Amino acid sequence: MAMTTQATPPTAGGSLYIPTPARIRAIEDLTEFERLFELEFLDGHPLGHDPGQFVQVSVLGIGECPISICSSPTRQETFELCIRRVGNVTNHLHTLEPGAIVGIRGPLGHGFDVSEMHGKDVLIVAGGLGLAPVRSLIQYILDERSRFGRFDLLYGAREPKEILFKDDLTEWRESADVDFHVTVDRPDEQWRGKSGVVTTLFKGLPKLDPAETMVVIVGPPIMFKFVVLEVLARRIPQHSIYCSLERRMKCGIGKCGHCQANNVYVCMDGPVFKYGRLKAMREALE
């Protein structure tokens, strides 16, 4: 790949805040509001992230915003971001075409500790846009399948039209590597699947082994609370439950203060936390 003389990654005497240019390779519509962007750095270096980490995405002149990485580091050449248009930067990103250059800072924050999950059964419960950050972990587990035990994946969306990654869902449903179930809160006439909130899918789960199961819960706070109840009721210890938080972030490197939830800078200590830690952060789940 041709090297460029454009903005370089930060060096001593430079600025931590300068993003590295990355090219949009492909764009896919996921829903009316979400698009999947596949990106590669112009200098070809891999992002080198852990599942669950995030990047700061820049459109220079418009601004910058944090986006979780939704592809696995095991798929190295490019990385993917699922972007909902809700603000100035994300609206602008949705106007871009493949080939456009954006700025990336990262990977940032702490993701999932996959080594801790090795040899264990894994249960992932995702709600709404929460599927985006855990997709990096799902892909990772599928790519490194032999290193994990049983793998259950539950996904809940409000409506069928809000369901993300429909191609992936088809693949997961047919795969023998994962036991995958999806439900919607409000089914429409075409919907043939299960309906109800995501906790209703727990009825179909096999018995969880508290000592051998790691649970990952990512979704809106209200869903998180109900899922945690289900999981705790199955005697899963608090240190075996992970979750990922969303906060406002400006710097992404533990200085600007915007993402602070109680005594924790989500951008540095998170966005992935264990439930044992999270429950002491009162603001995290409010």
Partner 1 sequence: MLDRMITHSAFLELVDELAGKRRIIGPVARGERFFYEEVERAGALDLAFNYCVYGPRAFLFPPTETLFTFQQIEGRFAAEAVVEDRPTALVGVHPCDINAIRLLDRVFEKDHPDEHYLSRRRNTLIIGLDCPRPCTDGIFCSDMKTNEATEGFDVMLFPLGAVQEVGASGKGGGGDPQAGPSVRADEPPAAPSQYGVVFGTPTGREWLLYSHKSTVPTAADERALEQYHRSKAAAFRRAIKTPSEDLPALLDRSYDSLLWEATARRCYSCGSCNLSCPTCYCFNIYDELDMTLAAGERKREWDGCQLPKFAEVAGPHNFRAKAASRLRHRIYRKAKWVREQTDLPGCVGCARCDRACTAKISSVEIYNQLAEEA
Partner 2 sequence: MSKPKIAIFSLTSCEGCSLAILELEDQLLDILGAVDIVNFREGMTERSWDIDIGFVDGAVSTPTDIEEVEHFRQSSKMLVAIGACACTGGINTLKNYQDETDCRRYVYGEKFEWFPTIPAQPLSNFVKVDAELPGCPMVKEEFLEFVKCALAGKQFRLPENAVCVECKKKDNLCLYEKGIICLGPVTRAGCAAICPSYGSKCEGCRGLVSDEALAAAGVNLREQYDVALEDVLADFRLFGAYQGSELP
97 in contact with partner 2 (CB under 8 A) = no
Among 6, 8, 76, 88, which residue sits at the site for partner 2 (rule: CB under 8 A)?
Answer: 88
What is d(CA 20, CA 23) in angstroms, rounded to the nearest whole number?
A: 10
Q: Tell me the per-residue interface mask from 6 to 35 with partner 1, x by CB under 8 A, - otherwise.
A: xx----xxxxxxxx-x--------------
**What's the min distance (Å) between Cβ of 185 and partner 1?**
18
The reply on whether position 65 binds partner 1 by CB under 8 A is yes
Question: If contact means CB under 5 to 8 A according to the sort of partner, which of partner 2, partner 1, none does residue 92 touch?
Answer: partner 2
* Residue 246 φ/ψ, nearest 5 degrees: -110, 135
Q: Which helix (H) or strand (E) holds 29?
A: strand 20-29
Distance, in Å, from the CA atom of 102 to the CA atom of 108, rounded to the nearest integer, reads: 17
Which of 87-95, 135-143, 146-154, 206-214 is the region at the interface with partner 2 (rule: CB under 8 A)?
87-95
CB of 22 to partner 2, least distance (A): 21
Based on the shown chain and the rule CB under 8 A, indicate whether residue 222 belongs to the binding site for partner 1.
no
Nearest to 217 by CA among 150, 122, 146, 145: 122
Q: Does 263 bind partner 1 (CB under 8 A)?
A: yes
> Is position 253 an interface residue for partner 2 (rule: CB under 8 A)?
no
For 225, the enclosing helix (H) or strand (E) is: helix 221-233
Best CA proximity match to 56, nearest among 269, 274, 248, 265: 248
CB 121 within 8 A of CB 212: yes
Does residue 91 interact with partner 2 by CB under 8 A? yes
b/e 7-16 (16+ beta carbons within 10 angstroms → b): eeeeeeeeee
Stretch that binds partner 1, among 82-90, 174-182, 201-209, 225-233 (CB under 8 A): 82-90
Nearer CB in complex with partner 1: 64/230? 64
139 binds, among partner 2, partner 1, none (CB under 5 to 8 A by kind): none
Of 124, 120, 52, 122, nearest to 273 by C-alpha is 52
Residue 133 lies near partner 1 (rule: CB under 8 A): no
